[in-house]
Every structure is written in C-alpha cells, then in structure tokens.
Structure 1
Amino acid sequence: YVVWVNDDYLDKGFHPDLLRYYLASYTSHTKELNFSWKVFQEKVNNELVGTLGNFVYRTLLFAHKNFGTVPDGDIDPEVFTNIEDARAAVIAAFNEYEFKRGIDAAMNLAAFGNAYFQSNEPWQLIKTDAPGAGKVVRNCIQIVKALAVLFEPVMPATASAAWAQVGMGTGLNSISYDEATSEIEVGQSMPKPAMLFAKIEDATIQEMEEILEERVSKAVKKKHITFEEFSELDIRIGTIVSAEPIKKSKKLLRLLVDLGENRDRQIVAGIAETHNPDDLVGRQVVVLANMQPVKLFGVESQGMILAGDTDGAILLVPEREVPAGTAVA
C-alpha cells in the first residue's frame, strides 16, 4: 500500500526516523516491501521503544541521577568485543546494501546492553559498592555511545539526540565508525536524558488504518468511460514470436509480439512466475498497443499484454486463431 508521507505520516506527528527505520529494517533490499501500520507499530514498540530506547534511557537516567558525570571504571573485554563485532557487522552489511542485516547487528548490541545492565544490577551495587556500580554504568554508557554511531545512517536525528545525551560535544554526522570503540571520557558531564521514542497506541494505529483503507478504496474505484474514450484504446490480437527471461528479475519476461506491423513489438510482461517462456511461443494474446513506452529493468516495453489476476496472471486469448494485428472493438 502507498502511504502519503506528508498527509498520512508527518502531519500526524510521526518522526521521520521511525519510517526510515521501518523501511531499512523490514526486509532485504532485494525483496519487495509492503507497508503495514500494524507491523510499523510492532517494530517501533518492540524494537525501538522496548529494546533500544529502554536501554539508552535507563542507562543515562541512572548515570545522571547517581553520578552526574561519566564514572570511572575499566571497560570490560566482553563489552569491547560485542561493540567491535557489531561495528564490523554493520560496516560489512551496509557496504553490501544489506541494511536489515546491519540494523539487526546494531539492535543485537542494544539487547546485549539491556542484558548487561540487568545482570549486573547497578541499582543494587550503588548501595554497597559505588565504584562497582560506576564501572557497570561506564560500560553501559560506552554501549550507548556505540549505538549512536551505528544507528546514525538510519536514524540521524535520534542517534544525534542519544549522542548529545552522553555528553558528546561534537556533531555525530562527522564521526567515523571507529568512534564506537573509542573509550568514553571519564568525568564527562551527563545531562538529564529524555526518552528517544514513544509507544504508539492501538487507537492511533486504528485511525491510520482507517485513513489507509479510505485511500485504497478511492484508488481502486473505477469511473465510467464513454465509448469515445474506449475507442482511443488500440487493442489488438498479437502472436508471440519469442519469449525470454529478463536478467535480475523474477517476474518479468521479454516478449517479441507480431501485431501485424512491419516489425515485431518488444513487450515486457510480468508473467514469468506463471508462464514458461518456451510454452508462450506461437500463442496469441490480447495487447494494448498504444500504451506509453516505458523501461523496465532497462528493457523498453512497447505495449501491454492484457491478463486477469487470480493467483497469478491469466492470459486473455481469442476464441480461435486470427490474423496477427486483428483489432479488438
């Protein structure tokens, strides 16, 4: 489905970073992506609010309340290893345009941070071992710093907010990935943090789904046309002369179709998943011949093969064989 970014998204108060995250983390760039408000809500609430946002806020709020600055304490080798592994995975994935894989690696680091905070219980340590609690907190702040660096390409505004909340003075957009493993400076001021994300309520999603359903309903509603308008369509019977797959496309075939003209027409048809190219040669089909030419996967299509759509393409064929180029009226 289509979402009007201004009317259906920005004007409703959704932050651009949330949509950027959804689009980049939903699936591989080689697969088709469909927008679902329900999936959008689940990803925001479970991943951004529940994992990333929860870890960042609980870490920085505890640090601000109990220390006010970055406390002293060595960075655990386990923490450095997890940060370095995430950094390497993100770089490798983004270089291959596998954004989901990179985001998953960064989110796994946030999950590790949550587990580290929870298992070390700094809220208990602070009562009896303030230096020990400080060490745990510094390690968690180091993870937050790394997360800001790793998420910046996908959520620049949100990552910059996290960067500022760990007391970093320089802008994040000029920072390299190497900064993720550079130790956070002890004594650095820790301002009072703010939540990076807010939970999206069911009522909000219901409202957005109703808007989407209304738009889809309007989009699929067909208007009545006059006979004169129909007469402008150049619909003819064509005979398929050749058919072959198009490189890098699972759905498209390149067809040459005899339409009774001086030369065969090249037509790109989305029927590769339902029709074998060898079986198409010699078959007659119905063609919209005055369709505006368009390039698909670099191949110009000079018409449209007409078909029904029930669990795949159902080609329209004449009742009996007729001369190529016979008009449909």
Structure 2
Amino acid sequence: MARTNSELLKNLGNFVNRTLMFVAKFCDGVVPAPHPEKGQAEVAELGALVDAKVQDYLAAMESRKLREAIRLAMAASTDANKFFTDTAVFRVIKTDPEHAGTLVAACLGMIRLLAALVAPYVPSLTDKILAQLALPQARAPAPRRTAPRRAGPRACDAALLSDELLAGAKAPHTLIAPGHRLGAPAPLIAEIPDDVIEGLRQRYGGKQDAAAGPGAEPAAASSSAAGGGAKGGKDAKATVAGGGKGGGKGDAAAGAGAKKGGGGGGGDKKDAPVDISRLDIRVGLIRKAWRHPDADSLYVEEIDVGEDQPRQVVSGLVKHIPEDEMQGRPVVVLCNLKPAAMRGVTSQAMVLAATHPESGKVELIQPPQGSKPGDRVTAAGYPGEPDELLNPKKKIFEAVQPDLATNADRVACYRGVPLATAAGPCTAASVAGGSIR
C-alpha cells in the first residue's frame, strides 16, 4: 500500500491526470494530430525506451515473475512522466502547437499502453483510465467470488495487449486516432492514509495480529472508520483505485469516508489524510502593497482571492522583492490559515514563495497564465475539499510544508506532483529545488 501512494498515485496517477487536464485545457478534449516532422525525434526516443520495457514485461509475465512485470510497467510510467516534463509541453503549446500536438499524442498513447500493462494487477484502475480516454473496455469485470487471488495474465487482459498496441509501443503517438474526443479528466487514485495502512496490516496480517497484542483492535477500528471496511485482501487492494467500477465495497467505503472528511471544513476531519488537499491554496492578485507601519521587513498587501472583498496579508518580503514589483502581481495564496496579528496588523492569508537552498534567494510562486483570482491550486491525485480553517493545534500546514518544493524545472510541487490550476502548473522564475512556504 505504501507503493500505491508512491508509485500508482504519484507516478501513474499524476501522469494520466496532468496529460488529460492539459488536453482538456489546450486541445478542447480532442486528441491532436501528430506532425510528420516536429516532435518525432523526441517521441522516437521515448518509444525506444518504452518498447524495451514492454518486451521485458511480456517475458516476465510469461515466466510468472509478477513483481518484475509490474516494476517494468511503473518504470514505463516514469519514462512517460519524464517525457511530459522534459519536453516542456506547457511552453511548446504556446509557441509551436504543431510540435506540441505530436508530444501530446504520444502522452495519450502512453496512457492507453499503461492502462493495458496494469490491467492484470488493478483492473478497476484500467477501467477508469479507459473511461477517461473514452475507449471501450476490452473485458467485463469478473464476479468477485471467481476473481483470482493473485495478479497474473488472464485471457480478458490479452485483448488489451493486442498486437496493434504492442507494435505501437515504439510509436506511442499513433495509438489513439487524431480527432478522438476524450472523456472528462478526474483524479484516478486516492492516497491511502498511514492509519488505514496500519489498520489493514493489523487486521489482515495473519500471525502479525497476535504479535500486535492489544494495539491490533484499535488499529482495525481506525481502518473501518476511515473507510477500510473491506472483506479480505481483494477489497483492501480495491481501495487503491478509489471507487472504480470493479472496486467493490472497499472502494465505496473509502470514497464515502474521504468525502465526509473533506467537506470544506465542516465536521470532524480527524480521519482525513494530512496532505495538500487540506490546504485551501488559490490564485491571488495583489491589488496594492505597502510597507508595514511598524516593521521594516514586512509588507502589507490587499489581495484578491476571488471573494467579495480582498484579503489583507502581511508578508516578510521587503528584503527580497522591491515594493514596485509587488503591485498588481499574480501570486499563489494559502487562504485557510487562522488570521493572526503581525506587529499590530491582521494577516488573513499567506503568500507562497520559494527559497533557494544555497543562495537563500526568495521568489514568489507564480500562477500560470490564463488563471484568475480564486482559481484553486491542487496536486493531481490528492482529491478532496480543503479545511474551512486549519486548526493551529493540529499543525496541518507544518506537516505538509516539508513536501512543498520547486523541482529542477522550477515547477512548484507537492511530493513531486505539480501544483496546478486548469491553466497549467505554478512556477518560480528561477529558483529550482527550493523549499516553498
């Protein structure tokens, strides 16, 4: 289950969601036509990497080396994620749409291929991916009582890994026809909270239950309360896909629990995961900024965050950003911190900035062009509504903040997943590898 969070969620789930969100935003939800020349070199390089992994995957499946096969599938997903980032498709689409069309078509083809590769392991996830691609499902879900207990190649999955698909691994931009209209993008996978993992481990761990002693029963209760009311290992695994069609009761319970915990701050959120979804991060626009009357290092800003009135925010940025550069500036704002007085002036939010790990240079995180005040900033794979107000005693932001940083491409990320609006990712101007707060 830890691998569910680190590989399925942050690797495959992130790649699928960021690609489909991009196509919905920039291509009107339609598969673009690859250009006969532009982008072909990059796609050929990707195809060579992926084709080698697919051949090794097939050999591993034939030999029943199931762990090796899924490792290769996730490695192919890593290649696809890296391709999306390294080709800078968000920038290319603005300057050369034909070139971007080839790159995007390749990413969509990779999604189709990856859906087939993971089908023997997480069939409900494959169903959800194919639905978002608006492609037919090549198999009908088996009745639960006859479903195999171990992952492995099955006749129903052979239809997914067709000769056409296998041959297309070398040229992923050919795997979905140009002009095909996709379904609506949505997060595929919900992160499994640590307490649920521990509860399931205690509940279904066999002899480990006895070794756990008195702590086993509370852990199991925690699992049930968080939506882990699954019957046996199959349902426990089904929670990975977050309520997909073939997910069973475990999926439904997990989805209901997450919804209850993430309802915009209403009710008790003790069972909600402590992650980026708890933070209300929005696009803001600084209407005006001025020096704090009683603190030389502080600015006071009026920031439009999509509400009836602008919020007043105090920021320690005087030493880093000139006052004239603060005026009329788009920013990214954390909006559900408890208001606090800073040298006699109330601050109702926090502007996010990145700090270089060596030079100490500080830069504001910038929302993407095309976003507007009030647009929510999220990380793919972390669904749910934010808390209405973060409880300072719970230290939610303090727990999340260490995983906020810019990557090598200056993209603001949470655990490696880009922070983005529908218009694209948020970025820093030059700070790479910098902590965000």
TM-score where L is the length of structure 2: 0.38
Instruction: Name the structure with the higher helix share.
Output: 1
Q: Which has the larger radius of gyration?
A: 1
TM-score where L is the length of structure 1: 0.50
